[in-house]
Amino acid sequence: MTPGRGPAPDEGSDGGPDEARDRARDRALDRALDRALDRGPSAAGRRDELRRGLERLDERVGAACAAAGRDPAGVRVVVTTKTWPASDVVHLAALGVRDVGEAREQEARAKRSEVAAAGWADDVEDPGVEDPGVEDPGEGDLGPEDRGTGRPAPGLRWHFLGRLQRNKAAAVAGWAALVHSCDGDRLADALARGAERAGRVLPVLVQVDLQDGVDPRRGGVPPADVRALADRVAAHPALRLDGLMAVAPQGPDPARPFARLAALAQDLRGDHPGASVLSAGMSGDLEQAVAAGATHLRVGRAVLGERPPLR
What's residue 18's pLDDT?
A: 58
Give the distance from CA 291 to its chain's centroid: 19
Is the confidence at residue 80, as pLDDT, over 60?
yes
Mean per-residue pLDDT over the chain, rounded: 83
Give the distance from CA 286 to its chain's centroid: 14
pLDDT in tens, 83-113: 999 999 999 999 999 999 999 999 999 999 9
pLDDT in tens, 205-222: 999 999 876 666 778 999
- Is the separation of the CB atoms in 1 and 77 below 8 Å? yes
Is the confidence at residue 242, as pLDDT, over 70?
yes
Three-point CA angle 209, 211, 214, nearest 5°: 115
Q: What is the mean pLDDT of residues 62-77?
A: 97
pLDDT in tens, 195-207: 999 999 999 999 9
Q: What is the pTM of this model?
A: 0.80
Per 3-state DSSP, the chain is made up of helix, strand and coil in percentages (nearest 5) of: 45, 15, 40
Give the distance from CA 282 to its chain's centroid: 10
Complete DSSP assignment for 212-266: TTS-GGG--B-GGGHHHHHHHHHH-TTEEEEEEEE-PPSSS-THHHHHHHHHHHH
Can you count the helices (H) and strands (E) in the chain?
10, 10
Band (132; pLDDT cuts 50, 70, 90):
very low
Q: What domains can be seen in the chain, in order of their start residue?
A: 43-131+147-304 (3.20.20.10)
Residue of 111, 108, 77 lying closest to 295 (CA atoms): 77
Band (36; pLDDT cuts 50, 70, 90):
very low
Taking the C-alpha atoms of residue 210 and residue 195, their distance in angstroms, rounded to an integer, is 28
Q: In one letter, which amino acid is 245?
A: M
What's residue 3's pLDDT?
A: 52
- Decide which of 16 and 198 is more confident: 198
Is the confidence at residue 5, as pLDDT, over 60?
no
Contacts of 257 (CB under 8 A, 6+ apart): 210, 246, 248, 249
Query: What is the chain's alpha carbon radius of gyration, rounded to the nearest angstrom?
Result: 19
